[in-house]
Amino acid sequence: MTTKYFNPYTDFGFKKLFAEEANKDLLIDFLNQLLPSHHQISTLEFKNVEHINDTAKERRAIFDIYCQTHEGDRFIVEMQKAKVKFFKDRSLFYSTFPIKDQAKKGDWDFELLPVYFIAILDFHYDEAEEKRKFRRDVCLKDQDGDVFYDKLHFKFLQMPLFNKQAHELETHFDKWVYFLKNLESFDHIPAILNEPIFKKGFEIAEISHLKPEEYEAYQKNLLEYWEVKRVTDTAFEEGQIKGKEEGMIEAAIKLKQLGATIETIVAATGLSMKDVDKL
C-alpha cells in the first residue's frame, strides 16, 4: 500500500525529521515537551560521533545533542529510536557515551553536564501488562525514593500505549505523540495538527518530496524495518512460551530466509555474529 508520508520509526524517517540542521526547530519543539522547565532548549548542536566500530551500525538512529537554555545552562540529550533486544541494557550502555565524552585531559574535577536519555519505542518493553506505562521518567533514587543524582535522566515513550484520538488531545505533547504514531497512516493534515510546526513536519515527511536517492534509501530501510518488526513481534509472542532465547534464534532463522544481512539480524535479535553465522 502506497502512503503519502514516511514511517518515522524507520532509521531514515527518524533522522530525517529530527537529525538535520534545517529541522532543528522541530527537534527543539518536541524535546521541550519532555524536558523540565529549567532545561528548556534555546539552541542545540548535533554531536554524531560513533564511539566504537562494533556499534556504529546499531547507533545510526542514535544521536547526541548538546543543548543550551536561554539562561546559558548547558546539558546533553541522547535521543534514539530504540531497539527491542536487551532494551534496558542498551539504554544504560549508550547513556555512558555522552558521560565519558565529557572527560577532560589534565587536571579535571569531574563535574558533569546533565544528561537526558530519550527513547521512542514502537514496542512494549514492559512484559507485565498491568505494569505498562506509556511514559516513564527515570532517575537515580535511594531506598526512600529521594533523588540521589539529578544529572542522569531516562525518558521512555512506549508508543503503542498511546491511544488518544484527535478529539482527546489536550496538550502540545499529546499532539506530537499523535503526529509521530499516526504519521504514516495520514493522507492529509488533520485539523488538530494544522499548526506551523506540524505543517513543516508533514512537508518533510511527504514521500513525494524525497530526492530519488533518498526515496531509494527509505524504501530499503522500510523493508528492513518491517521484516525485523514482524519477525521480532512473532518471536516475543512465542517467547512467552518457549523462552526468549529460543524465540530469537527462530527470529534469526526467519530473517535469514528473508535475505536480511547479518548486521540486521544481530541488531534485531541480540545474538552474536558468530551465532547467526552458524544458523
pLDDT category at 97 given cuts 50, 70, 90 is confident
Burial class (CB in 10 A: 0-12, 13-18, 19+), 101: middle
Residue 56 has pLDDT above 70, yes or no: no
Q: To which H or E segment does residue 225 belong?
A: helix 212-242
Residue 235 has pLDDT above 60, yes or no: no
Q: How many CA atoms lie within 13 A of 204 on its CB side?
A: 27
- Residue 198's nearest CA partner among 182, 175, 224, 218 is 175
Predicted confidence (pLDDT) per residue in 5-51, tens digit: 999 998 899 999 998 999 999 999 999 999 999 999 999 998 864 44
In this predicted structure, what is the pLDDT of residue 50? 46
Place of cell 536519555: 117
Q: Which of 54-58, 103-107, 241-245 has the highest mean pLDDT?
A: 103-107
| pLDDT score of 205 | 97
> Which residues are CB-contacts of 22 (< 8 A; sequence separation ≥ 6)?
none
62-85: pLDDT as tens digits: 778 999 999 999 999 988 776 666
Q: Which cell goes with 158?
A: 512506549
> What would the mean pLDDT of 243-258 be, rounded to a whole number?
69
Q: Residue 30 and residue 52: Cα distance in Å, rounded?
A: 29
Q: Determine phi and psi for 46, rounding to 5 degrees.
A: -80, 140
Higher confidence at residue 139 or residue 234? 139
Q: Is the pLDDT of residue 231 over 90?
A: no
Residue 91, pLDDT > 60, answer yes
What pLDDT is stored for residue 48 in this prediction? 61
pLDDT tens column, 154-200: 999 999 999 999 999 999 999 999 999 999 999 999 999 999 999 99
Q: Amino acid identity, residue 100?
A: K
Amino acid 135: pLDDT: 94
